[in-house]
Structure 1
Amino acid sequence: MVFPAFSRSLRMLPLAGALLLLAACSSGGGTKPAATPQASQLYGQLDRASKGYETALAQARAGNAQASQQTLNTSLDQLQHASALCPSTPGCDPQRFFAVFDRLLRLKDGNFDFGDDLSAMGNDLPEGSEAGKTGAASLPEAQRSVTLLRGQQLSQLIAMNGPVKAALEMWLTQWRGNLMDAYVNYQFLRYQMWPEYQKQDLPEALLFGIMAKESGGKVHAVSRSGAAGPLQFMYATGLRFGLNTEDGFDSRFDPAESARANAEYMDEQLKAFNNNLEVSLAAYNGGEGRMRRLVGDNTSVSLYDPTIYNQLSQETRDYVPSVLAAAWLFLHPESYNLRFPHVDGAPGNIVLKRPASLTELTVCLGSAAGMQDGWFRTLRNLNPRLDPQASQPAGARIMVPKVLEKPYQARCTDGPWPILANDLHTAVLPIVPSSPPPPPASSPRSSSVSKTRSYVVRRGDTLTSIVNKVGCSSVQEVSEMNELRHHQIKPGQTLKLPTCR
């Protein structure tokens, strides 16, 4: 026998409401005041409630349902009472209550071996299987590692976690356009990216959440820090997971390769942090070394524990709930008055009947298949190795959504549209005479760069790695000095680099 799942869920609701009050009163970090005697008493209640909850779980597993229910009731009453008093108690840190409740949910979701926890995770198990007899602990490790993204459990977390609720509001308001763009971009890339996550038995919602936050599904996105691609790998981390440069192409921009590397990275971090998803996401954003130093041997610690949370950067504090919120909206848009557009992302290809660049194809395809924003982003995403301005020869194969195969034949092989597209693309800009350079000043100001030198690109080089060798320049400066398109380089190419004083 077990204590009823429905009763347990109802008892979670007032507790979630109390913790919502804590969220409104908690600060974003910084130095916390020392605990007063009154706060210390609340912390004592918190500790007793936490131990009582664990005892209730042990009693339930032992088959003592009546004692388990009584212990559970007492512990939840203690936790509800203490959390309600914390905001008005001097020196009480609400973040400690978030951390404890988060850990208790983890105990319930990851190790509870009966009731609604198993039904939420094991719907696809055959009737009478061993998993149905022994509980969630018998499910594959990867399934247990992502219970945060499973139905009721995440609903409970969102109900109590202020940062995730705030992120949900942002995605539904100020970031709504970004969310929609990310969804459309992902649907066309899904056939390349999702299989890589499936291989690691990771949830698709997690992939979407990371991609939505990192790049919005823009394959060629590059951050100021040098992170690149749809999932924003730093160069060194990308190399560790097989993302390198071949023939001048940085494979961080390859959707399938980027998804493979990301899935391998998340699998590695989930194992390192004992399936702690929030901490693993924080490692992806803030650095795995830093998270290992913060967490130490206590891999079950909540990300919202003040000893961890207060040492995170604001970027990482925002990043983790933003990813989880985007993942949750991906799974349950209807619960938030959200409707994603229908996208037919089936893959296809065309063989060019006449030379054309991706920009020319965009012009002649227009709003085919109802794409009001045009097809430029999708064509770029599906053909990351191609310069969108460079004309591709007749006979070249271009990856497109299948819904574009017929429009291409109808619009872009003959008639006025390809002629118009080519005319616009090959337009010659007027030559504007340049002004003569100013005479050198008698006392020139000192500069960190005095002259340039030549550098021959070697296999494996990227613009970021070359700039790092220079030490006094930037990717943008070197790109402009060499008139590079989209920061692309290739082995054997000679670059001009600044010489630093």
Structure 2
Amino acid sequence: MPAFARASVALLALGFAFSPEALALSKRDQAAVDSLNQRMQAAEARYRQGVVKIGNADPSGKGEVDASLEDMEDVMADCVKQKGCSATTMLTAYKRLLKQNADLAAGDEVPEDGAADDGDMLGADVPEAARAAALLSADGERFVKMVQYNPAVQASIRRWLTDMRGPLVDTYENYQYMRQLMWPQFERAGLPEALLFGVMAKESNGKVHSTSRAGAAGPLQFMYATGQRFGLGDDGSGFDTRYDARASAQAAATYFNERLGQLNRSIELSLAAYNGGEGRALRVYNGSGGRNFWDESVYNQFPAETRDYVPMVIAAAWLFLHPKEYGLTFPKVDAHPAMLRLNKPSSIYELTICLGNGGSRDGYMRALRNLNPRYKAESWLPAGTTLSATTRIVGLYNRWCLQGPRAELASTLVRSDASSAIVRTGPVTPLNDDEGEIEGGGVGTTGVSMPQASATKASRDKPRKPTSYTVKRGETLTAIAQKFQCDMGDLAKANKLKAPRYSIRPGQKLKLNGCEG
């Protein structure tokens, strides 16, 4: 998220909206306000000049843009301290720049004066700019007003910033790829984005295939029965939509609004219900006469896990809104959505290798898995399969995954079979107590070698290539095709399976025509 967006969130949350006209300013204060306005105008002009340089392929442009954003951040920090400084004036400049960012990302021309309609919200196809615009709204302020910032939350912030900093940063990166799928569901429900992030940080770290020992599944960890109540579960093809980012976010938004309606709009009690059971939360709330979560008579009726869960979610949400205040830098993620059409058979494992990690700290396997939850990482996907991806991933695919040494290396690595490394010299049987010899080319107690028996027996014991296979529970056609090194299209045709689902069932016998075995 741009630095100036984070700074503006802090201003909004703190409620700074001073106006020189509304306050009697001394000449000294007025001069300081005028100076801040001039600095902001100069930074904005410098920003636009940097953008022009970037458009002209001038390498100094990026440095100009970065420096101008730092200047704006300094102005915002000074505005907080200066009597009579108008945050509204500063935010107007930010909105213009955010709109300019969105237009540039979409390939539109930007007016030379940088003017834009302040009421025009950014397009959903520019996730990073849209996220910044969302935080410039009252969303962050509303979340702050809905929760209590207390020592329990502070202790949880400490945990996120120490031994759990890595998982928090991972959550942020994973979320950026799925944001365009999840955030609109909460936005339409009138819920803060920070709440969505906080829940996901505590539940799954943004890994859509996460499953708990208790059976909760997906990025927001729905139990099966609860998921069914909110439209999640088997979609008829064998896929559990609890693992789908969009569907799970929509279900969670509905769930939270139901709980907020029952529990006096308390986020803490709604989170306690999410973790410890809605029935328990409602009984405790009604029995307490409507007291809040932090009241001792309420707090002590929840299990230790829930008492830990509530402040941890709030703390993660708080850090999502105020990272710089705590020295936290989230990674920049190029998550502009795009579709990737496979030009040749591949798997997510193979794509992960050939894509490399250019532009990403950990590579793209998690992003591809999160955006395509129906596919297992090892599943062999036929040519023509369309995957949800990003423009960055599509570019890397076209450059590295279609041909060349890296593409060949990736193909070799994913097709390697560890068992083939074992050298078999012939069958060996245990010692025979009566004869004291090892059959088949070993050395017996007599010290006589018998190599002549090995060739005939080895050929007799050589496994035959399988011609059929019985489907096991949980298997997909793509997994079976990869297991037996088949072309999935040929395998589907041989068994008269129709695209795109290629539906199979446990116990079904498949013909392995054209498979290596």
User: What's the TM-score bracket when you normalise by the shorter of the two chains?
Assistant: 0.5 to 0.7
The count of residues paired between Structure 1 and Structure 2 equals 304
Gap regions ≥5 residues in structure 1: 1-8, 10-118, 125-145, 437-453, 459-489, 496-501
Shift of the alpha carbon at 1:181? 0.1
From 229, 254, 270, give the equivalent of 2:260: 270
Tell me if the contact between 1:456 and 1:491 (Cα under 8 Å) persists in the aligned partners.
no
Of 301, 309, 333, which residue of structure 2 is paired with 1:319? 309
2:319 aligned to 317, 329, 333, which one? Answer: 329
Q: Name the stretch that deviates more: 308-317 or 280-289.
A: 308-317
Q: Is the alpha carbon distance of 1:151 and 1:296 closer, same or farther for their aligned partners in structure 2, counting shifts above 3 Å?
A: closer
- 3-state SS of 1:349 partner: strand
Choose from 393, 399, 410 the match for 1:421. 410
The residue correspondences of 1:67-106 to structure 2 (distance < 5 A) are: none
C-alpha offsets along residues 134-157 of structure 1, whole Å, 9 cap, x if unaligned?
Answer: xxxxxxxxxxxx9996376479x3
Q: Does residue 1:214 correspond to 2:225, yes or no?
A: no
Paired amino acid for 1:237: T
Residue matched to 1:137: none
Question: Once the two structures are superposed, what CA deviation does each residue of 1:92-112 show, in whole Å capped at 9, x if it has no partner?
Answer: xxxxxxxxxxxxxxxxxxxxx
Q: 1:435/1:166 Cα in 2 relative to 1: closer, same or farther (>3 Å)?
A: farther
Structure 2: 5+ residue stretches without partners: 1-13, 15-86, 93-137, 430-469, 475-502, 509-517
What does the per-residue CA deviation read over 1:251-296, in whole Å, with 9 as the maximum and x for residues that have no partner? 0000000000000000110001121111011000000011111111
Aligned AA for 2:247? E
CA RMSD of aligned residues (A): 3.2
**Which residue is 1:96 aligned to?**
none
**Letter of the 1:259 counterpart:** A
Instruction: For 2:506, give the aligned amino acid.
Output: Q
How far off its partner does 1:492 sit? 3.0
Give the AA of the match of 1:411.
Answer: W
The equivalent of 1:387 in structure 2 is 376
1:294 corresponding residue in structure 2? 284
2-structure distance, mates of 1:299, 1:220: 40
Cα distance 1:435–1:174, how it changes in 2: closer, same or farther (>3 A)?
farther
3-state SS of 2:302 partner? coil
Q: Which amino acid aligns with 1:351?
A: R
Q: Which residue of 1 aligns with 2:142?
A: 150
Matched, 1:181 2:177: no
Residues 398, 299 of structure 1: CA spacing in aligned structure 2 closer, same or farther, 3 A cutoff? Answer: farther
CA distance in 1, matches of 2:296, 2:240: 39
* Structure with greater Cα Rg: 2
CA distance in 2, matches of 1:352, 1:150: 44
CA offsets 1:71-100 (integer angstroms, 9 cap, x no match): xxxxxxxxxxxxxxxxxxxxxxxxxxxxxx
Query: d(CA) in 2 for partners of 1:226 and 1:266?
Result: 20
Counterpart of 1:286, as a letter, is G
- Give the TM-score, by structure 1 length: 0.56
Aligned to 1:322, the other structure's residue is in SS state: helix
Q: Is the 8 A contact 1:213 1:323 kept in 2?
A: yes
Tell me whether 1:373 sits opposite 2:362 in the alignment: yes
Q: Which residue of 1 aligns with 2:160?
A: 171
- Once the two structures are TM-superposed, the CA of residue 400 in structure 1 deviates from its matched residue by 1.1
Q: Is the 8 A contact 2:143 2:192 kept in 1?
A: no
Q: Is contact 1:212–1:326 with CA below 8 Å preserved after alignment?
A: yes
Aligned equivalents of 2:316, 2:428: Cα separation in 1: 51
TM-score in terms of structure 2 length: 0.55
Describe the shift of the 1:199–1:154 C-alpha distance in structure 2 as closer, same or farther (beyond 3 A): closer
- Letter of the 1:366 partner, please give it: G
- Distance in 2 of aligned mates of 1:302 and 1:222: 31
Greater RCO, 1 or 2 (C-alpha within 8 Å, sep 6+): 1
Alpha carbons of structure 1 residues 392 and 457: separation in structure 2 relative to 1, 3 Å: closer
Q: Does residue 285 in structure 1 map to residue 275 in structure 2? A: yes
Following the alignment from structure 2 to structure 1, what is the Cα–Cα distance between the partners of residues 314 and 144?
A: 14
Q: 1:224 and 2:237 equivalent?
A: no
* Contact 1:349–1:400, Cα closer than 8 Å, also in 2: yes
Secondary structure of 2:251 counterpart: helix
Aligned mates of 2:186, 2:143 — CA distance in 1: 20
Contact 1:217-1:230 at 8 Å conserved across structures: yes
Instruction: Give the superposition deviation at 1:237.
Output: 0.1
2:505 maps to which residue?
A: 492
Does the 8 Å CA contact 1:276/1:299 hold for their aligned counterparts? Answer: no
Cα gap change, 1:416/1:280 in structure 2, threshold over 3 Å: closer, same or farther? same
Counterparts of 2:183 and 2:360, CA distance in 1: 23
Cα separation, partners in 2 of 1:379 and 1:457, compared to 1, 3 Å? closer
Contact 1:247 1:491 in 2 (8 A): no
Q: Which whole-Å CA distance do the structure 1 matches of 2:139 and 2:266 have between them?
A: 10
Q: In structure 2, the residue corresponding to 1:430 is in which secondary structure? A: helix
Q: Is the 8 A contact 1:349 1:397 kept in 2?
A: yes
One-letter amino acid of the structure 2 residue matched with residue 382 of structure 1 = L
Looking at structure 2, the residues matched to 492 and 261 of structure 1 have their Cα atoms a distance apart, in angstroms, of: 28
1:345-392 deviation digits (Å, cap 9, x = unpaired): 111121111111000000000112x21311111111111001211121
Q: Which residue of 2 aligns with 1:354?
A: 344
Q: CA deviation at 1:298?
A: 5.2
CA deviations 1:191-227 (Å, max 9, x no partner) are 0001111110101010000001100000000001000
Aligned to 2:108: none
CA contact (8 A) 1:248 1:491 kept: no
Q: Deviations over 1:392-438 (max 9, x none)?
A: 111111111221111111101111112111111111222679999xx
Deviation of 1:455 after TM superposition, in Å, equals 12
Measure, in 1, the Cα distance between the counterparts of 2:139 and 2:289. 16
Alpha carbons of structure 1 residues 435 and 272: separation in structure 2 relative to 1, 3 Å: farther
- Counterpart Cα distance in 2 of 1:420 and 1:287: 50
Tell me, what secondary structure is at the counterpart of 1:249? coil
TM superposition shift of 1:162: 1.6
Task: Give the alignment partner of residue 193 of structure 2, picking from 196, 204, 226.
Answer: 204
State the AA in 2 paired with 1:365.
Answer: L
- Assess, with a 3 A threshold, how the Cα gap between structure 1 residues 356 and 167 changes in structure 2: closer, same or farther: same
